[in-house]
Structure 1
Amino acid sequence: MTGEAVALELRPAKLPSRALAVLIDMVVAWSAYLAVTLGLLAAAGSLDDAAVAAIAVSTFVLVLVGVPIAVETLSHGRSLGKLACGLRVVRDDGGPIRFRHALVRGAVGVVEILLTFGVVACIASLVSARGRRLGDVFAGTLVVRERVPTSRTEYVPAPPPWLVGRFAELDLSAVPDGLWLAVRQYLTRMGQLDPQVGWVMAERLANDLVARTGAPAPEGVPPAAFLAAVVQERQAREARRAFGATGTPGFTAAPGYSAVPGVPGAPGAPAPAPTPFLAPPAQQAAQAPPSPQAPQAPQSSQTPQAPQAPQALSKAEHPGRPATGFVPPA
């Protein structure tokens, strides 16, 4: 949670990836240390033992402690090993680290990594809920994953166009984060649920949302479509709050989509799947074309014509269009 009360979704790095990054850094650092030490000892062969010991200690502190601190400070938390593993050191609030953070991490790392061969760091990382070692605890930092597989990203389906902007006046301040998370999880997985079970879950979530907002849901709107429309309204408000009244600069959201980067409709986001929600029966009947009627024989003007029963609309006559069930009589 940042100082502006913005929740950031940071994925802490696990012990295997952190250990691999440290191993890469140690191989590079020890190789540079041995090369520099051998070069200095060859150049200072005529010096006494005290001078050689001072050179050795200075080289150790400079190469194995000072250089990693400088690299993390200048790269904002990305050493060579972390860059290769897709990791980064950040502050607890998600911001970039500074020199003091890198200094504390490097100073504590001398004891828990160099002198104990990483045993203390491994134990502390296993005990910590977010995988932090002692240097992270004292420095107030966290190692997070920068590269997240895009195939695991799930998007909330867009609401039907006839519901976009309908809940602009709805008060969403009393809706807790836990309910938003439950609604989002349902919308991203409703295609995998049994239709009857999904309908019951959508009704329960819609009732909870209505109880929090204090406004009843519109009649004739499926509960899943109501949830998607309210979530879209919340995303639109967050976009206006973050990027101004027009959303992301230089980008206009398509109907039914928000201008929040990383969600369907944003630049670079994959095209969303067709919305699974159906329009209300009255609007579907108005939008669906009437099925062709067989020619009828002319009738006398004095004989009233009996009203025809609505005919079913088959999927074969209109491929690619969800069946609405009925169409208005001709």
Structure 2
Amino acid sequence: MSELVTGEAVALEVRPARLPSRALAVLLDLAAAVAVYIGVTIGLVAATASLDEAAQTAISIAVFVLVLVGGPIVVETLSHGRSLGKMACGLRVVRDDGGPIRFRHALVRGLIGVIEILMTLGVVACIASLVSARGRRLGDVFAGTLVVRERVPAGQAGFVPPPPPWLVGRFTALDLSAVPDGLWLAVRQYLTRMRQLDPAVGWSMAERLAGDLAERTGTPVPPGVPPAAYLAAVLQERQAREARRAFGDGAAVGGGQVGAAGPAGAAAFPAPPAQQPAAPSAVVPPEQRPSVPPSAPPRAPGAAPAADGPADRPSTGFVPPA
């Protein structure tokens, strides 16, 4: 497991990829890129045979940059950290907080990878991966990413309990842009470990995290909502937005319902306190009770309604003409 520890003294439960699996994934990616590069080069040589030597050299350099440098960047961006070699080895590139990478992360990893993988034949990348506690190379350090193993046994993965059903979709309008990745990581790891903590310590930690999250979002915690349930609901809303951004609008339906909010979510957090029934009113003496006109007797089925008489019509204050 990873040895990354948050400010709340909670360890990050992920499995970082080590050097052997990462080296095999890089070799597979390089083999695929070189095969594409050779095919494109052969085609361009046949197509540019009539050009001079300087033009052919410029085209060769452009093809090298586009295929061997730009190709991995595009693939990692479109696949959200899963290249061909990483998919074969069960690896994936994620951010430090566990979220999917974006173009800027893939760009930094690709540009630095040219130096530490292509120009040095992988020597710098191997040394950096051996020295790092989580097996990161220089591209991961500068990009703020981590290569993790996706094929983890289900029993060993950290389980984040879903929020109660009465909180699902309640924070769809919340502004989460100012919440840093470190706070998201602390919230996630608290939720995975909250049942292992002392109740008093866990409650105070949840209150502190909920207060920090409410301060970043600019919206206070709704009254009557337990802090742990609030954290789970906001984290699920953030995961729903990440899924919609990564896979489209069809990845999450119903305003953030990514995780199943069924009996497990209802049992993980206490429900809001039930409202007390209204106190019975004082007994009013019969002589002080307001008079209520008697209701009309029930009509027989099929009988025509009786015409309203003068006594039944409300007074308008005017006398009809004679």
TM norm structure 2: 0.50
In the alignment, the residues of structure 1 paired with residue 156 and residue 97 of structure 2 have an alpha-carbon distance, to the nearest angstrom, of: 25
* Cα deviation, residue 149, structure 1: 2.2
In the alignment, the residues of structure 2 paired with residue 27 and residue 92 of structure 1 have an alpha-carbon distance, to the nearest angstrom, of: 28
Partner of 1:139: 143
Change (3 A) 1:20 1:125: same
| 1:100 maps to 2:104 | yes
Deviations 1:231-264 (A, max 9, x none): xxxxx974564148xx965511499x647xxxxx
Please tell me the residue identity of whatever aligns with 1:131.
G
Deviations 1:289-324 (A, max 9, x none): xxxxxxxxxxxxxxxxxxxxxxxxxxxxxxxxxxxx
Change (3 A) 1:253 1:39: closer
| 1:251 maps to 2:262 | yes
Partner of 2:22: 18
Please tell me the residue identity of whatever aligns with 1:55.
I
State the 4+ residue runs in structure 1 displaced beyond 3 angstroms.
1-8, 150-155, 209-213, 236-241, 247-250
Change (3 A) 1:70 1:253: closer
Contact (CA 8 Å) 2:14, 2:157: kept in 1 or not? Answer: no
Contact (CA 8 Å) 1:243, 1:249: kept in 2 or not? Answer: no
Deviations 1:189-235 (A, max 9, x none): xxxxxxxxxxxxxxxx9xxx59969xxxxxxxxxxxxxxxxxxxxxx
* Cα deviation, residue 48, structure 1: 1.2
Matches within 5 A, 1:121-160: 121-150=125-154, 152=156
Deviations 1:145-195 (A, max 9, x none): 11102365699xxxxxxxxxxxxxxxxxxxxx99x97x95xxxxxxxxxxx
In the alignment, the residues of structure 1 paired with residue 108 and residue 35 of structure 2 have an alpha-carbon distance, to the nearest angstrom, of: 24
Out of 14, 19, 29, the residue aligned to residue 33 of structure 2 is 29
Change (3 A) 1:66 1:258: same
Identity over aligned pairs, percent: 65
| Number of residue-to-residue matches in the alignment | 191
Partner of 1:53: 57
**RMSD, aligned α-carbons:** 4.0
Q: For residue 90 of structure 1, give the secondary structure of its aligned residue in structure 2.
A: strand
* Cα deviation, residue 134, structure 1: 0.9
Please tell me the residue identity of whatever aligns with 1:21.
A
* Cα deviation, residue 13, structure 1: 0.8
Deviations 1:82-129 (A, max 9, x none): 111111111222222111111111111111111111111111100111
Contact (CA 8 Å) 1:78, 1:89: kept in 2 or not? Answer: yes
Q: For residue 47 of structure 1, give the secondary structure of its aligned residue in structure 2.
A: coil
In the alignment, the residues of structure 2 paired with residue 79 and residue 6 of structure 1 have an alpha-carbon distance, to the nearest angstrom, of: 30
Matches within 5 A, 1:201-240: 238=228
**Higher RCO by CA contacts (8 Å cutoff, separation 6 or greater):** 2
TM norm structure 1: 0.49
Segments of structure 1 that go 5 or more residues without pairing to the other structure are 156-176, 185-204, 214-235, 260-330
Which protein has the larger Cα radius of gyration, Structure 1 or Structure 2?
A: 2
In the alignment, the residues of structure 2 paired with residue 35 and residue 57 of structure 1 have an alpha-carbon distance, to the nearest angstrom, of: 15
In the alignment, the residues of structure 2 paired with residue 123 and residue 54 of structure 1 have an alpha-carbon distance, to the nearest angstrom, of: 34
In the alignment, the residues of structure 1 paired with residue 199 and residue 108 of structure 2 have an alpha-carbon distance, to the nearest angstrom, of: 50
Contact (CA 8 Å) 1:65, 1:106: kept in 2 or not? Answer: yes
